[in-house]
Amino acid sequence: MELRYGSANEQMRQALARISPGTPLRDGIDRVVRAKAGALLVLDDGPDVLSICSGGFLVDAPFSPQRLSELAKMDGAIIISGDGGRIARANVHLVPDPTVPTSETGTRHRTAERVARSLDVPVVSASEEMGVINVYAGGGKRQLQEIGRLLERANQALQTLERYKVRLDDAMAKLTAVEVEDVATLRDVAAVVQRGEMVHRIADEIETMIVELGVDARLLRLQLDELYGEIDDELELVVQDYVADDRTPSETLEIMSRLTDEETHDLRKAAEALHRLEEDDDLTISVAPRGLRLLHRTKRLSSDSALAIAGHFNGLSKLQRATLTDLSEVAGIDDATAAEVRETLARVTESAILDQYN
């Protein structure tokens, strides 16, 4: 399963993957914490990192958990190569830009955050007394949690995801029903986009937990894949059916991803993301789908052919009335494909109407 997420979140996940349980680096960090020693690790040895290093000494030796725990007994930072295969330097004094803002109070954590923010490299800090491990990457911070607690949180998040997915499925089913009857409103579409974004955010957080858990997350991965499935693809087709011509589905989904959690509860925000809502409009205005989402339920139909059919008929209502001859007039659509499209649309229409009244 592939989730859509921003570059900053991706950088954090890449950093978490490098120090997840089962990796040599995590083994080394755990050794440091058990020994009640602190550590400041920069997971990159590029020129920008070396330019802020002062003192210390060159190690240039293959990485091993044992070496890391021994070198952490000294006060300075440890520089590890970008691929994690070598320890480049140790006992280094880092001199990051002091004007970079930081919310940390401890010296080690303040330095870690400033280095990560100013150079855009992943940095890990482990406190000496509390054994707290913080990861700084992509402009953000994440404190590693005890495995059992993180598993508990992830399972609770999965239960929440399941409930929200039921609500999304209900909204999607309602949208299909009003589409086939040609009575869809902007509210119906906005409800699907809104609930889709909420489901995505929960799944996105679970995905980060899975990355952080590493080898301990095999069952969680199976459960998330089972629940989340092809939701992103389905949601993109909904957006593609209704988004205004001057906006792409990816732009709409990007706008939704930038909303605050509170703003996602506002249906007007979802309608605005589709570029379908003027200042004086309300959500009861009628809208008509292009029909792409329902066309994609035809197994033999490619995405290009679905686009060609939707463009030819310019709306689901006209497409539903199309005969086999009408469909065969679309470039690239043979008689067999035309028949399958007609059967699929008829089946979806019948199923949607039955579901609505049952």
φ and ψ of 13, to 5 deg: -65, -40
Q: Where are the beta strands (DSSP E) in the chain?
A: 39-42, 53-54, 57-62, 77-80, 86-94, 123-126, 133-137, 140-143
Q: What is the pLDDT of residue 45?
A: 95
Q: How many CA atoms lie within 13 A of 190 on its CB side?
A: 24
Give which of 164, 191, 180, 167 is closest to 297, Cα–Cα.
180
Q: What is the pLDDT of residue 288?
A: 93
Q: How far is Cα 94 from Cα 76, in angstroms, rounded to an integer?
A: 8
Give which of 33, 128, 124 is closest to 84, Cα–Cα.
124
Q: What is the pLDDT of residue 1?
A: 45
| Tens place of pLDDT per residue across the chain (358 aa) | 444 545 568 899 999 999 999 999 999 999 999 998 899 999 999 999 999 999 999 999 999 999 999 999 998 999 999 999 999 999 999 999 999 999 888 889 999 999 999 999 999 999 887 789 999 999 999 999 889 999 999 999 999 999 999 999 999 999 999 999 999 999 999 999 999 999 999 999 999 999 999 999 999 999 999 999 889 899 999 999 999 887 888 899 999 999 999 999 999 999 999 888 776 678 999 999 999 999 999 988 999 999 999 999 989 999 999 999 999 999 989 999 999 999 999 999 888 777 766 5
Residue 311, burial from CB neighbour count under 10 angstroms (0-12, 13-18, 19+): exposed
All domains in the chain, ordered by first residue: 7-144 (3.40.1700.10), 148-273 (1.20.1260.110), 292-357 (1.10.150.20)
Q: What is the pLDDT of residue 5?
A: 47
3-class SS of residue 106: coil
Cα–Cα–Cα angle for 217, 145, 89, rounded to 5 degrees: 95
Give which of 297, 270, 288, 122 is closest to 200, Cα–Cα.
270
Radius of gyration of the chain (CA): 26
Q: What is the pLDDT of residue 191?
A: 96
Q: What is the pLDDT of residue 75?
A: 86
Number of C-beta neighbours around residue 159 at 10 A:
9
CA 178 to chain centre: 30
